[in-house]
Amino acid sequence: MSAAACYEDPMNFITPAGESLLRDPMSDKEISSAPSILSRLRAIASEGRKTLKESGVKGLLRRYGWKVLALVLVYYLVRDTLLYLILPYLIARNFF
For residue 96, give the DSSP letter: -
Q: Helix H segments across 1-96? A: 3-8, 37-64, 66-81, 87-92
Percentage of residues of the chain with pLDDT beyond 70: 62
Instruction: Sketch the domain layout of the chain as residue ranges.
Output: 1-34, 36-64, 65-96
> How far, in Å, CA of 47 to CA of 69, rounded?
17
For helices 66-81 and 37-64, give the axis angle rounded to 10 degrees: 120
**Percent of the chain's residues with pLDDT above 90:** 49
* Model pLDDT, residue 13: 54
Rg of the chain in Å (alpha carbons): 24
What tens digit of pLDDT does each residue of 45-80 get? 899 999 999 999 999 999 999 999 999 999 999 999
Mean pLDDT value across residues 12-40? 63
Cβ 68 vs Cβ 58: under 8 Å: no
